[in-house]
Structure 1
């Protein structure tokens, strides 16, 4: 029964990967490096899934040499995910070179580690499946191969996952400095899936350790398989449907804006004060905050203030990024609408410029101190002034 559930889980995962690969390989309009690395990540995941299916379905009895064949291929997973993330977040196509060639290290190490096991004959490998027929020396080779390849995989892939997560953190920070809405721009979905993958592979390592000690927990194995399947399906779906990210600035602007909060001010305090007043005036007078597509570039074009000066004023004078600056004004207008109109929460969110209820709720709670529904209920029972005093 356990093998049946495991087969179902990994078959679903394989189907999800195959469907995503078909779409990625046939659609147009995507930058070549992004499609390439996404497909490589899918192929590495497919190798892992097929490797598990060879075991749980009993297919190894008919093709013993397929056992362990996935170990080298899935070493590409970590680097492929990292390069896919880098390509998504880069305006220009990054050059492949330098330390990027370390991608070959993992597969080479695993290939060397698996050579002793690969040299066993089909009959010798089949004999390992039955304790009564296995050769102790051959079994030690199998244990060594599993342990060495697992350690290399976890260390190698872990390094690339950490690097990808750091890329996403920096990218999200840039998006918050540049846009008032960051859904589908900040790549938060990628961070979540990378963390799920990291957790799943940690538990996969625990599963392998239990196997080495002769212990198997069916419920644990099934839960792990379905967790992997959900993460793989989510990665395949979201990766296929990830839109091209907007390019709002050149490399020089990007570096200047990213360093605005860390460097010493270029503008005088008086100049930043005047700039801040101009920005606030533009937001309030023209209700620019209600534009769901408002960006740093758009505000710069409207006000005539350069993007670098806006970023420096926000970070050095007001102590906020562009995202929080705009959303604080949206929250103020949302407070008025919640207390004076009968618009529901979602309608209020759209009216003030948010694209989703979840983003509105999070931003409103951050800037006001209570969720929108709670604010509306309390303001109508206590009055706006009493509620403001209670919240602050």
Structure 2
């Protein structure tokens, strides 16, 4: 068995990290709708770790029933974590506040069931805590019903986690597509770390379900995993908290401009992901397309590494909604692909005509990193910058 002192040290470190992240998140003055759900997520982890420490510190068996009852309080905290993580990602990937949560009261059902578990657990007689090796058949019908209810709620918890993971993955997919409608450079706004967290939790969920099924059907698990399950669980939870803490504390909402100059308050409604039919006629769209092309060919606007849809709209004196519609319906491209196509065309010309290094060319045409330049170049030209330069005719 794993020594309790290791579990105690792990829980204490986890508690300190959760409290520190909570404090840092609550210090944010802007975007509180993003950071408050994540702060509450760390509060629930703090509650869970404090109760774990209580369970490890109190060794007097006469207080087992008291510790067990108080330790049941971690159940609502654990049930709240998937909801809070979903609320955080939802706010992080939204352009507005989204639908009010009060219109989706079903999100509160698992937490209410968890609270009911705590209430029922506290009704279990003290005498049962002092008895060992109790058979299910020897228990009263009331206690049997409570235990069955607990099992059903536990199944609901796994369903809840699965549902929120699916919802988060869908939000991330929509977010990635929307980034390309608004920004020419997206790597500093990508939420790759959230993808990794979601994937890790999914894998851990599958492992937990496998362990439960193995125990249910009497299948022997690996002895090493069985002996160290508490430590493994603690380390996994700590690793997830660590990653969320490192990235979540500093992560900014991605679908907003980094400068205050764009867009103006009156244009906020013009940045919706999809548009309905508007007053934009074909002739008007053609004129806007001409302005966009001129901004690229004459003004070399694509060389701005922080170029956004709002910047382009301001430059050509057209609303961002009309610019986006023109790109999608007239030029048949999203903003990201359109701008990066111009960047790659410029880079190809420089690779042929100059001896500048590839990194210098990448930065000159508007890319922030060598990797993003290579990825865009390979996607557009089906070859690498090095291979293209090597194939140019000798002077």
- TM-score of the two chains, using structure 1 as the length reference: 0.79
Q: 2:274 aligns with which of 242, 259, 263?
A: 259
> For residues 153 and 205 of structure 2, what CA distance do their matches in structure 1 show?
13
> For residues 80 and 128 of structure 2, what CA distance do their matches in structure 1 show?
29
Q: Tell me the SS of whatever aligns to 2:252.
A: coil
CA contact (8 A) 2:344 2:380 kept: yes
CA contact (8 A) 1:60 1:66 kept: no
Q: Which runs of 5+ in 1 are unaligned?
A: 128-132, 386-392
CA contact (8 A) 2:180 2:334 kept: yes
CA contact (8 A) 1:7 1:56 kept: yes
Structure 1 equivalent of residue 30 of structure 2: 30
How far did residue 2 of structure 1 move?
3.9
CA contact (8 A) 1:117 1:145 kept: no
Q: Does 1:18 align with 2:19?
A: yes
* Structure 1 residues 30 and 301: CA distance shift in structure 2, 3 A: closer
Q: Does 1:135 align with 2:134?
A: yes
Q: Does 1:341 align with 2:355?
A: yes
How far did residue 321 of structure 1 move?
0.6
Q: Tell me the SS of whatever aligns to 2:124.
A: coil
Q: Tell me the SS of whatever aligns to 2:298.
A: helix
Structure 1 equivalent of residue 39 of structure 2: 39
How far did residue 202 of structure 1 move?
2.9
Structure 2 equivalent of residue 308 of structure 1: 321
How far did residue 135 of structure 1 move?
0.9
> For residues 60 and 341 of structure 2, what CA distance do their matches in structure 1 show?
60
Q: 1:309-353: per-residue Cα shift (whole Å, max 9, x none)?
A: 3212211123211011111122222334445334253x4433222
Structure 1 equivalent of residue 292 of structure 2: 279
Q: 2:303 aligns with which of 281, 290, 294?
A: 290
How far did residue 205 of structure 1 move?
2.9
Q: Which moved more, 1:150-159 or 1:136-145?
A: 136-145
Structure 1 equivalent of residue 115 of structure 2: 111
Q: Does 1:383 align with 2:389?
A: no
How far did residue 177 of structure 1 move?
0.7
> For residues 338 and 14 of structure 1, what CA distance do their matches in structure 2 show?
54
Structural RMSD (CA): 3.6
Structure 2 equivalent of residue 325 of structure 1: 338
Q: Which moved more, 1:139-148 or 1:163-172?
A: 139-148
Q: Tell me the SS of whatever aligns to 1:305.
A: coil
> For residues 125 and 141 of structure 1, what CA distance do their matches in structure 2 show?
17
* Structure 1 residues 155 and 336: CA distance shift in structure 2, 3 A: same
How far did residue 199 of structure 1 move?
2.7
CA contact (8 A) 1:14 1:49 kept: yes
Q: 1:188-218: per-residue Cα shift (whole Å, max 9, x none)?
A: 4334323322332332233344455565543
* Structure 1 residues 96 and 318: CA distance shift in structure 2, 3 A: closer
Structure 2 equivalent of residue 390 of structure 1: none
- TM-score of the two chains, using structure 2 as the length reference: 0.78
> For residues 393 and 291 of structure 2, what CA distance do their matches in structure 1 show?
28
Q: 1:214-238: per-residue Cα shift (whole Å, max 9, x none)?
A: 6554347355543433222111221
> For residues 349 and 283 of structure 1, what CA distance do their matches in structure 2 show?
17
Q: Which runs of 5+ in 2 are unaligned?
A: none
> For residues 43 and 104 of structure 2, what CA distance do their matches in structure 1 show?
19
How far did residue 291 of structure 1 move?
0.8
Q: Tell me the SS of whatever aligns to 2:306.
A: coil
* Structure 1 residues 324 and 96: CA distance shift in structure 2, 3 A: same
Q: Tell me the SS of whatever aligns to 2:249.
A: helix
How far did residue 290 of structure 1 move?
1.5
CA contact (8 A) 2:185 2:306 kept: yes
Q: Which moved more, 1:270-279 or 1:70-79?
A: 270-279
CA contact (8 A) 1:290 1:351 kept: yes
Structure 2 equivalent of residue 359 of structure 1: 372
How far did residue 115 of structure 1 move?
4.7
Q: 1:229 aligns with which of 231, 238, 245?
A: 238
